[in-house]
Amino acid sequence: MHCQYALYIPQAQPSYFTFRCLALYDVRGICGKTRIAEVGGVPYLLPLANQKKVYDLNKIAKDIQLPGAFILGAGAGPFQTLGFNSEFMLLVQTESEHRPPVNGSYFARVNPADGGCLLEKYSEKYHDFGCALLANLFASEGQPGKVIEVKVKRRTGKLNFVTCMRQTLEKHYGDKPVGMGGAFIIQKGKVKTHIMPAEFSSCPLNSDEDVNKWLRFYEMKAPLVCLPVFVSRDPNLARLAQRIDFSQGSGSEEEEAAGAEGDAQDWAGAGSSADQDDEEGLVKFQPSLWPWDSVRNNLRSALTEMCVLYDVLSIVRDKKFMTLDPVSQDALPPKQNPQTLQLISKKKSLAGAAQILLKGAERLTKSVTENQENKLQRDFNSELLRLRQHWKLRKVGDKILGDLSYRSAGSLFPHHGTFEVIKNTDIDLDKKIPEDYCPLDVQIPSDLEGSAYIRVSIQKQAPDIGDLGTVNLFKRPLPKSKPGSPHWQTKLEAAQNVLLCKEIFAQLSREAVQIKSQIPHIVVKNQIISQPFPSLQLSISLCHSSNDKKSPKSTTEKQSPEDHLYVLEHNLHLLIREFHKQTLSSIMMPHPASAPFGHKRMRLSGPQAFDKNEINSIQSSEGLLEKIIKQAKHIFLRSRTAATIDNLASRIEDPQIQAHWSNINDVYESSVKVLITSQGYEQICKSIQLQLNIGVEQIRVVHRDGRVITLSHEGQELQDFLLSQMSQHQVHAVQQLAKVMGWQVLSFSNHVGLGPVESIGNASAITVASPNGDYAISVRNGPESGSKIMVQFPRNQCKDLPKSDVLQDSKWNHLRGPFKEVQWNKMEGRNFVYKMELLMSALSPCLL
Amino acid sequence: MGLIVSQMPVAEGKSVQQTVELLTRKLEMLGAEKQGTFCVDCETYHTAASTLGSQGQTGKLMYVMHNSEYPLSCFALFENGPCLVADTNFDVLMVKLKGFFQSAKASKIETRGTRYQYCDFLVKVGTVTMGPSARGISVEVEYGPCVVASDCWSLLLEFLQSFLGSHTPGAPAVFGNRHDAVYSPADTMVQYMELFNKIRKQQQVPVAGIR
């Protein structure tokens, strides 16, 4: 039995406690039906706190058959209410029929602010009657009666006061456990005692050392009022002793009551696990003085068992109360009887549970198979349910109508786009149902049947007028239905696509008629023809093939799918969606209550006082057709540019032309970087780098030095420009080469005004002199005329030089003489720059 | 877009209507083209008594004006004070601000008339009405190509003389303070506000005379 005592410091004089007990709580003593209750136990606290163990004192009072009991004692504070762990000094008048409960308890905690100890009155903040984990309670009716007064002066040994009292009781009463409870006051001196910290230990506290580390010890000064409750000896021991007689009448452990002189004991709530640790608990809650405590405990328990064994043996030897007989086999079954009974009952109940489970499982499998069957059968209603998940349906009269229009997405197309849901009944029930049978069918309007697409193409020449308006049917195979998706889904999707294509075409043709352009757009039947550039024709046509087989096959063969501009077709779809979104957003989107939420510039037009013209300029927006024509123009311009560059690159090997196309494009703008280099001389010949920004109507060429040239859509213009750049490149390359070779540049001109006139661009020329000045090379390069290279020799090397009258002296022999043309095509070397390098090195004096 | 707003006095022995007709005929004779109509209106608000300070401070008048030339805008002006340009929702806001600004009763004054385009000049001749009765004539001349009003002032003056004759006004006060400032729509509205105030006062004088 562990003896806990609790302390609290009264605010006034030491006699305050008694005073309070008697006056405030209608308690005049601690007598009358006294009981000791052991609630919970140390195992709930150690090694880890079991936070489920919470108790209510009112209930405990009822459990010990003393409702309205006056309870004093010690325990752990109700962390369930407080939110932290604490020591608890119980002083409670519990609830009874004619009295409300009163809680006069105190709790001591570790002060979170400074780590000191803090005593607080429980009822000041809380109004429940809880306690937790463990409590040693002394309960009485609160009647006046005889009590024992113990007066002590000084500590003489290692044992503390309560242990002394307990041992005294034990000595006097011997085997009989006698409980004692009450209050004592320490009037003078100091006491070392512990308080549990606010947090439960997160790691298990397995040894006394751990526990002492966890606990917080404080020295407390008198006066202190203590509420000890203890029992003289372990009642378990008595129980063990009782077991020795093997008396048949011994009841279950929990119900066992041990009579004590004067004091009735009731072991409410004392679990068996609590019993086992009692001895340890006793030690734990005394400040451990001796390191061999646990060893001693084990020895003691061993001793107890030995004693019991010794007692049993002695009793057996007397043969007065007990004899040892060989156990007969027959005797066994009745002994096992309760166990077998238990086993049988367990078996029965398990069987019952199993039956219920099996039944449930059977039902589940049944319903699952039914479901699967249903799926196979695909009844009309479930199909309808699935249809409703994807499409808008409504009931009109006895018909079910659906909506496949884009109206809810912002479309303004007047077509209703309604379809009717019908029950597919034309099936012979006796015959085997085909795989793709669907009890639900949809009837779409006849004009939305089949498949349709918008076809955008660019043609070079205008077709014959006879060709105009012919339905260029290009029959695409119906898209195969995705596995798992029902038949109606593909049907409806196709119909919706037809609707959207029709809307796009309607919008385009409306715009084509409205827009005033220089060359009017032509709308014939299902074709819109526009001329973005001269001799170029953009045709947008709506191809709608109904499912009937009448459509002639010849037309389908004629149409080659290559001239499709899939990008534009896709962009048309994107544009119409954008258009939908615009109409939707201006009406539906969340907006301030005072005004619609329009374009930003529109919103600013008020505060910035725009006049009518400015507002008009904001409002005019580009239509679908204009946008798509612009895109088509851009695409055409881009492909034409690419073709021109590729053509040049393949045709002309020297110099090389490289094009680096940018991956990131806008629908109206893309760019390409063109480099003109000579093979093998890429490092020194970097003069020509062009950035071509391809727009809608024109190409802007940004030269490396920042010059900007604007070219029109005509491919020839770009080609001429590139050719002139290439010819310039050669001369630039000579210049760079001269720098490397140490030759001097005598003259340089990008645009020579002399010589034959080039049809495109200008010829450029350079003259370089060898390092020692003996030779000079003159290069003239024109885009059309090609290159002409002349070399000037010193006079002394010219044989056929006519004798001059003026230059008689031999010193003039070092003057440079006339130019001679180099037969360039007979020069060795793979390209112009290489040839030039060879020429230069040949004319340079040998340095060796 | 230098612009001038002036008042044309009613000719002797003629009604307002007749004078306007006279002017428009003159303009048409010059060769100006009719280009629809225009309308400028002005409503007066005074600060509510409850919000005024205790030191006998008089409430400022606020004029809320609209001009058909700027169809999405609303102008709020104080005399000699700032000019606020807002969108037309401002009118709704004024209803909410009843506690601070109260609409003066029967104070709505407006001018309506025809818009004439004569080359770069835009001329608007309007009849100023207050309630049911016509009170005067307003003439607005705008010279489109110029954004600094003081630069084209003499040009405007000359043009005005050509059809207003002796009634040509002096330079408006708006140009006085800022010589090189770019002309803004608010300046037009300030001129109209001054014109309306002048016409209001004229109307009050005879009333005082009768007393």
Instruction: Show residues of chain B in contact with A612, CB under 8 Å.
Output: 69, 71
| A135 lies in some domain | yes
Contact A606 B184 (CB under 8 A): no
Whether A595 sits inside 8 A of B89 (CB atoms) is yes
* Minimal Cβ distance to A609: which of B70, B89, B92: B70
Q: Does A605 touch chain B (CB under 8 A)?
A: yes
Reported confidence tier of residue B119, pLDDT bands at 50, 70, 90: confident
Which of chain B's residues have a Cβ under 8 Å away from the Cβ of A594? 89, 92
The average confidence (pLDDT) of chain A is 78
Task: Decide if B208 is inside a domain.
Answer: no
* Residue A182 and residue A134 in one domain: yes
Provide mean pLDDT across the span A816-840.
86
Rounded CA-CA distance B113/B120 in Å is 19
Domain assignment of residue B46, yes or no: yes
Q: A610 at the B interface (CB within 8 A)?
A: yes
Contact A594 B89 (CB under 8 A): yes
Q: Could you tell me if A596 lies within 8 Å of chain B, comparing CB atoms?
A: no
Tell whether A500 is covered by a domain.
yes
Q: Determine the distance in angstroms separating the CA of A593 from the nearest CA of chain B, rounded to an integer.
A: 11
Tokens standing for B131? 């309630």
Contact A609 B185 (CB under 8 A): yes
Provide, rounded to the nearest whole percent, the portion of chain B with pLDDT above 90. 10
Local confidence band at A272 (pLDDT 50, 70, 90 cut-offs)? very low
Q: Tell me the pLDDT band of A670, cut-offs 50, 70 and 90.
A: very high
Measured between CA atoms, how close is A602 to chain B, in angstroms? 9
**Domain containing B86: what range?**
1-51+58-202
Lowest model confidence (mean pLDDT) among A97-106, A159-168, A810-819? A810-819
* Same-domain status, A448 and A397: yes
Report helix, strand or coil for B174. helix
Residue A198 maps to a domain = yes
- Are the beta carbons of A611 and B89 separated by less than 8 Å? no
Interchain contact B87–A (C-beta under 8 A): yes
What is the pLDDT averaged over residues A84-106? Answer: 84
- A481 has a pLDDT exceeding 80: no
pLDDT at position A760 is: 84
Q: Tell me, yes or no, whether A310 lies in a domain.
A: no
pLDDT at A365: 93
- Whether residue A609 and residue B87 make contact (CB cut-off 8 A), yes or no, is no
Chain A contact set for B122 (CB, 8 A): none
A386/A405 same-domain check = yes
Which of A704, A723, A742 is the last residue in one of the domains? A723
Residue B79 distance to chain A (closest CA, Å):
20
Task: Judge if A393 and A525 occupy the same domain.
Answer: yes
The secondary structure of A163-232 as a DSSP string is HHHHHHHHHHHTTS--EEE--EEE-SSEEEEEE--SSPPSS---SHHHHHHHSEEEEEESPEEE--EEES
Same domain, A421 and A503: yes
Query: Does the beta-carbon distance from A603 to B70 stay under 8 Å?
Result: no
User: How far is the C-alpha of A644 from the C-alpha of A725, rounded, in Å?
Assistant: 14
Instruction: Tell me what percent of chain B is helix, strand and coil, each rounded to the nearest 5.
Output: 35, 35, 30
Concatenating the DSSP letter of every residue in A792-835 gives EEEGGG-SSPPPPSS--SGGGGGSEEEEEE--GGGS-SSSHHHH
Contact B72 A615 (CB under 8 A): yes
pLDDT reported for residue B22: 85
- Kindly state whether A611 is in contact with chain B, defined as any CB-CB distance less than 8 angstroms: yes
- Find, in chain B, the residue whose alpha carbon is nearest to that of A607: B86
Residues 305..344 of A with a Cβ closer than 8 Å to B: which? none
How many of the other CB atoms lie within 10 Å of CB of A746?
14
Q: Mark yes or no for CB contact A594/B92 under 8 Å.
A: yes
- Residue B52 exposure: Cα atoms within 13 Å on the Cβ side: 14
Least confident of A159-163, A570-574, A720-724: A159-163
Cβ-based contacts of B76 with chain A (< 8 Å): none
Residues A662 and A718 in one domain: yes
| pLDDT of amino acid B56 | 54
Lowest-pLDDT range, A473-487, A646-660, A813-827? A473-487
Q: Is residue B122 part of a domain?
A: yes
Q: pLDDT at residue A261 above 60? A: no
pLDDT of the residue at A253: 37
Q: Which residues of A touch B92 (CB under 8 A)?
A: 594
- Please judge whether B71 and A612 are an interchain contact, meaning their C-beta atoms are less than 8 angstroms apart: yes
pLDDT computed for residue A228 by the predictor? 83
Q: Is B97 touching A (CB cutoff 8 A)?
A: no
pLDDT > 80? residue A336: no
Residue labelled with tokens 């044989």: A799
The reply to whether residue B71 touches residue A608, judged by beta carbons under 8 angstroms, is no
Model pLDDT, residue A11: 42
CB contact A597 to B (< 8 Å): no
**Residue B174 domain-assigned?**
yes
B143: alpha, beta or left, given left = phi > 0 and alpha = psi -120 to 50?
beta
Shortest CA gap B113–chain A (Å): 17
Residue from B72, B90, B147, B192 to probe the interface with A (highest A Cβ count within 10 Å): B72
Residue of chain B nearest A595, judged by CA positions: B89
Look at residue A36 in the predicted model and tell me its pLDDT.
86
- Range(s) of the domain holding residue A839: 728-800+813-843
Q: A716 and A759: one domain?
A: no
Inside any domain, residue A119 = yes
Give, in order, the Cα–Cα distances in Å from A818 to each of A688, A772, B92.
Answer: 33, 17, 93
Based on the fold, state whether residues A708 and A819 are members of the same structural domain.
no
Report whether pLDDT(A463) > 70.
no
Contacts of B74 in chain A (CB under 8 A): 606
- From the list B70, B75, B86, the residue facing A611 with the nearest CB is B70
Residue B69, chain A, CB below 8 Å: the answer is: yes
Average pLDDT over residues A395-409: 86
pLDDT of A539 strictly over 80:
yes
Q: Mark which of A214, A239, A264 sits at the end of a domain.
A: A239
Residue A8 has pLDDT above 60, yes or no: no
Same-domain status, A142 and A197: yes
Residue B210: inside a domain: no
Hey, what are A206's tokens? 């397995």
User: A396 CB near a chain B CB, below 8 Å?
Assistant: no
Residues of A in Cβ contact (< 8 Å) with B88: 606
Here the tokens at position A565 are: 């501009």
Q: How many CB pairs under 8 A join A and B?
A: 40
Among residues A698, A723, A748, the one where a domain terminates is A723
Local confidence band at B152 (pLDDT 50, 70, 90 cut-offs)? confident
Asked if A273 contacts A43 with a C-beta cutoff of 8 angstroms, the reply is yes
Q: Which comes out higher in pLDDT, residue A155 or B168?
A: A155
- The answer to whether residue A71 scores a pLDDT higher than 60 is yes
Is residue A412 scored above 60 in pLDDT?
yes
Predicted pLDDT at A279:
41
- Only one residue has tokens 């729509």, namely B185
Helix (H, G, I), strand (E, B) or coil at A89: strand
Over residues A761-786, the mean pLDDT reads 88
Q: Which two tokens stand for residue A494?
A: 């196709």
Chain A, nearest residue to B92 by Cα: A594
Q: What residue in A sits closest to B69 (Cα-Cα)?
A: A611
> pLDDT tens for residues A346-360?
999 999 999 999 999
> What per-residue confidence (pLDDT) applies to A307?
92
Residue A789 predicted with pLDDT over 70: yes
| Residue range A534-547: mean pLDDT, rounded | 80
The residue-averaged pLDDT of A816-829 equals: 84
A482 falls in which pLDDT band (50, 70, 90)? low
B-chain residues near A605 (CB < 8 A) = 72-73, 87
Give me the percent of chain A exceeding a pLDDT of 70: 78
CB A724 within 8 A of CB A783: yes
Bigger pLDDT: A755 vs A337: A755
Residue of A nearest to B187 (CA): A609
* Structure-token match 């499709």, residue found: A564
Q: Do A606 and B88 make contact, defined as CB atoms within 8 angstroms? A: yes
Q: How far apart are the CA of A620 and the nearest CA of chain B, in angstroms?
A: 16
Tell me: do A538 and A669 sit in the same domain: no
CA distance B84 to chain A (A): 8
Whether residue B69 and residue A595 make contact (CB cut-off 8 A), yes or no, is no
Amino acid A274: pLDDT: 39
Q: Which residues of A touch B185 (CB under 8 A)?
A: 609, 611
pLDDT of residue A531: 83
Q: Which residue among B69, B85, B184 places its CB closest to the CB of A607?
A: B85
Same domain assignment for residues A147 and A102: yes
C-alpha span between A380 and A375 (Å, rounded)? 11
User: Using one digit for the tens of pLDDT, what is the confidence trace for B4-62?
Assistant: 677 777 767 778 888 888 888 888 888 889 989 999 999 998 887 666 655 555 667 88
Q: At residue A431, does pLDDT exceed 70?
A: no
- The candidate with the shortest Cα–Cα distance to A63, out of A93, A98, A82, A35, is A35
Q: Residue B84's domain is classified under what CATH number?
A: 2.40.320.10
Q: Is A593 on the interface with B (CB under 8 A)?
A: no
Name which residue leads in pLDDT, B159 or A352: A352
Three-class SS state of A33 = coil
Statement to judge: residues A58 and A190 lie in one domain: yes
Residues of chain B contacting A608 with CB distance shorter than 8 Å: 73, 85
What local confidence, expressed as pLDDT, does residue A22 receive?
43
Residue A806 scores a pLDDT above 50 = yes
Give the total number of structural domains in chain A. 4
pLDDT in the model for residue A644: 92
> Is B127 in the A-facing interface, judged by CB distances under 8 Å?
no
Closest residue of B to A604, CA-based?
B87
Q: What residues of chain B lie within 8 A of the CB of A595, using their CB?
A: 87, 89
* Number of domains chain B contains: 1
Per-residue pLDDT, A25: 56
The two three-digit tokens of residue A483, written as one number: 């596995």
Contacts of A649-655 with C-beta under 8 Å, sequence gap 24+, read A652/A726, A653/A831, A654/A678, A654/A679, A654/A830, A654/A831, A654/A832, A655/A685, A655/A726, A655/A729, A655/A730, A655/A733, A655/A831, A655/A832, A655/A833
